[in-house]
Chain A
Amino acid sequence: MKAKIHVTLKQGVLDPQGKAVQHALGSLGFDGVEDVRQGKFIELELSETDPTKARASLEEMCKQLLANTVIENYSIEIA
């Protein structure tokens, strides 16, 4: 099965790259972009067929490697 993981910076953690993107969008004429937060999107192909087991395993993957939980949140989507 396929799994999709989004890793984003926690609220309260400054995102200078997001700010630079926001600024660049403004200078391209896209008005009204009030905030930009940049993150990562990770797609995994798993051999596991049980969604509950897959989710438990993905949780561990996020905690141990895919996200740094000091500064990042993650969300898991199983297709």
Chain B
Amino acid sequence: MKACVIVFPGSNCDRDLQVALRNAMGSEPEMVWHGDSSFGEVDLITVPGGFSYGDYLRAGAMAAKSPVMREIISRAKKGVPVLGICNGFQVLTESGLLPGALMRNANLKYVCKDVHLKVEATDTPFTQGYGNGGVLRIPVAHHDGNYFADDGLLDELEDNNQIAFRYSDGDGDLTEDANPNGSRRNIAGILNQERNVLGMMPHPERLADPALGGTDGKAMFSGLVEALS
């Protein structure tokens, strides 16, 4: 399996993602600079967290228009899996690869803590490592993670089973208290209709090694390797 990590000016989780992918794949992912309009054939494209272009205009807005994104959009349309984490999720919504938008957290605060996630869809290469679902503990670290879509779109996402993760309590109950940012219907991660693009605010790459205090993120990467090798 070959994977790449897209690096924008202001990305800061690119190396974490590189390590998580390296450990899962047993080989080195390609690091791709945002100004490059082409890169090698890969089985997985990842868009990391951070503050690309300093969040100018809107989080992810500038990165979504960078040369490398045109290539990513074209490959995503051909079915290549694309994973966007945190700022990567914002970039994917701004580029139109995923529906909806990520707004300022409802409490206006930067939220940096571990949250619980209920796995809502396991029939994708990104989530198949989670078997029958369950509840994960994964960190979030963001200021603009408040997922917004209108009621019609939310119903559509639910009908198509496009919601991959929701914020829950430790028992998997979708409570208001468990929602760290005001996201509508506790949404933490969504898929496109074709199910080859996933965007999520929490950081699985930050909890994919026992040395980091937990391994709940690891199954995402091992599942991807299994699905795409």
**Is the pairing of A and B real?**
yes
Would you call B57 and A71 a contact (CB within 8 A)? no
Q: What are the interface flags for B95-113 relative to A under an 8 Å C-beta threshold, 1 for contact and 0 otherwise?
A: 0000111011111100000
Would you call B65 and A64 a contact (CB within 8 A)? yes
Contacts of B33 in A (CB 8 A): none
Q: What are the interface flags for B33-69 relative to A under an 8 Å C-beta threshold, 1 for contact and 0 otherwise?
A: 0000000000000000000000001100100010000
Contacts of A56 in B (CB 8 A): none
- Assuming the contacts A13-B103, A16-B182, asked whether A68 and B108 have C-beta atoms less than 8 A apart, the reply is no
Would you call B148 and A70 a contact (CB within 8 A)? yes
Give Cα distance in the complex from A13 to B104, angstroms. Answer: 11
Give Cα distance in the complex from A5 to B64, angstroms. Answer: 21
Would you call A16 and B148 a contact (CB within 8 A)? no
Would you call B65 and A65 a contact (CB within 8 A)? yes
**Total A-B pairs, Cβ < 8 A:** 33
| Distance to closest chain A CB from B209 (angstroms) | 35
Would you call A13 and B148 a contact (CB within 8 A)? yes
Contacts of A17 in B (CB 8 A): 104, 108
Number of interface residues of B (CB under 8 A): 19
Would you call A16 and B107 a contact (CB within 8 A)? yes
Contacts of B100 in A (CB 8 A): 70
Q: Is A20's beta carbon under 8 Å from chain B?
A: yes
Give Cα distance in the complex from A71 to B104, angstroms. Answer: 12
CB < 8 Å neighbour of B61 from A12, A14, A16, A65 = A65
| Distance to closest chain B CB from A45 (angstroms) | 18
CB < 8 Å neighbour of A14 from B94, B106, B149 = B106
| Distance to closest chain A CB from B128 (angstroms) | 29
Contacts of B148 in A (CB 8 A): 13, 70-71
Q: Is A66's beta carbon under 8 Å from chain B?
A: yes
Would you call A65 and B182 a contact (CB within 8 A)? no
Contacts of B150 in A (CB 8 A): 12
Give Cα distance in the complex from A18 to B93, angstroms. Answer: 23
Give Cα distance in the complex from A64 to B65, angstroms. Answer: 9
- Assuming the contacts A64-B65, A65-B61, asked whether A20 and B103 have C-beta atoms less than 8 A apart, the reply is no
| Distance to closest chain A CB from B11 (angstroms) | 20
Q: Can you report 14 A-B residue pairs in the complex whose CB atoms are below 8 A from each other?
A: A13-B103, A13-B148, A14-B103, A14-B106, A16-B104, A16-B105, A16-B106, A17-B104, A64-B65, A65-B57, A65-B65, A68-B58, A68-B94, A71-B103
Additional 10 contacts, C-beta under 8 A, given A12-B150, A13-B148: A13-B103, A14-B103, A16-B106, A16-B107, A65-B61, A68-B101, A70-B93, A70-B99, A70-B148, A71-B101
Using CB atoms and an 8 Å cutoff, list the residues of chain A in contact with chain B: 12-14, 16-17, 20, 64-66, 68, 70-71
Using CB atoms and an 8 Å cutoff, list the residues of chain B in contact with chain A: 57-58, 61, 65, 93-94, 99-101, 103-108, 148-150, 182
Ranked nearest first, the 5 interchain pairs of A and B with the lowest CB-CB distance are A70-B101, A71-B101, A16-B106, A16-B108, A68-B101
